[in-house]
Amino acid sequence: ATAQPLLSSLLCGDIGVATMFMFGQTGSGKTYTMSALLERLAADVFGHCRAGLSLSILEIAGRNCRDLLVDESEASIRMLEDSDGGVQLLGAHCESVADIAQWLAHLHAARGRRATEGTGVHAQSSRSHAVYKLFLSFPDGESRSLTCVDLAGSEWSKDSLLHDGARMKECIEINRSLMVLKQCIRLRREVRDGQAAEDGVSPTVNVHMPFREALLTRLLKDAFTLPASRSRTIVVATVSPSSSDTEHSLSTLEHASLLDDAAICFRSETVELGRVQASLAPPTKAQQAKDMSTEQKRRDMKKRQALGFTWTVMKTVFSRDKVSYDDFRQLCADAGLVGSAAALSEGAMEDICTAVQQEQPETNREFLRLEEFTSFIEMASQRSGAMVSKLLKPIQAALLPKMQDGDYKDWCAKQML
């Protein structure tokens, strides 16, 4: 009921580009649902389509893209943009598909090659985005495409407390790409609202679509930039039945509903059912979420101010704009943050430093700046479960004796109280 109308419009020629997203928190059943949809899709495609069919299956993990149709030694893909703005995939394979058996064989092989890791939620959690692209080539030379995207699960800070450095880095990259995707979806809706308001006249809405900020959105460029008459998108929102995941589920439905534009897109029955379920949830949860938004902004502001202040004091003590990792490790030890009875073990400290350094250019990995300092403190907060302020206070206390006496030191002391 969710994917069939989209496929019918594609086969009839009403649209040229169709996209389906599988969106939800880690462990909510996205990959399981996508696998079943793709298998059922095969019967409709081969039963009603007279076009030539070819299939491409890609994986986007962090800032890397690879082909899931071939062995790992040949799987690396470079994503380039041609002079016309089209996205070209250098090294990607596109296999012709003659029947359902061949289709299912490719799907099974791709699932076996996809990156998975055990998390606190799921023993084989997908740590990447999987993109299934079906190309239809018609005798008159026209080509159309269906793209099915099994997104990696969204995670909040509290979900990643037990992650090691590698899992934390994956979590950051997944959330970053999902954030860019949501931004592109919001802007696409603004553009299409403007098109609808113009009643068929060329739209006057000018919006910069930031699809180049993540590999996932670069690959899905057509879903955001083509006019509504040529492309349609639906979302399947998967939610956990557990009451402890209520906030996750409401957040999933809120973001999924961004694609549910009745004037332009199909109304996903899954999203509509989710809205009904959300309306039956205890009103206190929704009200608390609204009340928390203003408070959260205030807390984020205070956190940024505290991080900036601590970094300024650190630069003053070390007399330079960037601090070596060795000096920073010693500072954390002086502050009592590292040790068997402290917030971080020595192993956790090294895992976080390594994760932060890997995000830096190789030439700058001996030093950290404000950006890396902020990333370290946020990762340490996730790893230890301690609030950011609880980690900054000991660092500030360790820095104060190292400052030279004077009015600035007295002022800093008052700020630290």
Amino acid identity for residue 90 in this structure: L
More confident of the two residues 196 and 339: 339
Residue-wise pLDDT tens digits, 344-397: 888 888 888 888 888 888 777 788 888 888 888 888 888 888 888 888 888 888
Residue 59's DSSP bridge partners are 66, 130
Whether 162 has a pLDDT exceeding 60, the answer reads no
Of the candidates 8, 31, 6, the one whose C-alpha atom is nearest the C-alpha of residue 19 is: 6
Please provide residue 263's backbone torsions phi and psi, each rounded to the nearest 5 degrees: -75, -25
| pLDDT greater than 50 at residue 271 | no
Distance separating alpha carbons of residues 35 and 3, to the nearest angstrom? 13
- List, for residues 341-354, the tens digit of each pLDDT value: 667 888 888 888 88
Could you tell me which of 35, 45, 20 has the C-alpha nearest to residue 100? 45
Q: Write down the pLDDT at residue 163.
A: 53
Residue 404 is predicted with a pLDDT of: 79
Cβ 368 vs Cβ 356: under 8 Å: yes
176-196: b (≥16 Cβ within 10 Å) or e:
ebbebbebbbebbbebbeebe
CA gap 115, 112 in Å, rounded: 8
What is d(CA 277, CA 64) in angstroms, rounded to the nearest whole number? 37
Q: Would you say residue 171 has pLDDT above 80?
A: no
Asked if residue 416 has pLDDT above 80, the reply is no
What is the tens place of the pLDDT at every residue in 83-108?
777 788 888 888 998 888 999 999 99
| Contact between residue 79 and residue 219 where contact means Cβ atoms under 8 Å apart | yes
* DSSP 8-state code for residue 212: G
Cβ-based neighbours of 62, under 8 Å, separated by 6 or more: 128, 169, 170, 173
CA distance 105 to 51: 20
SS3 at position 174 = helix
DSSP annotation of 238 reads E
56 pLDDT band, cuts 50/70/90, is: very high
d(CA 3, CA 1): 6
How far is Cα of residue 29 from the mean position of the Cα atoms in its chain? 17
Specify the pTM.
Answer: 0.59
- Residue 342 phi, psi dihedral angles, 5° rounding: -95, -175
Containing H/E element for 277? Answer: helix 269-280
CB atoms within 10 A of CB 322: 14
Query: What are the E-state strand segments in 332-379?
Result: 367-368
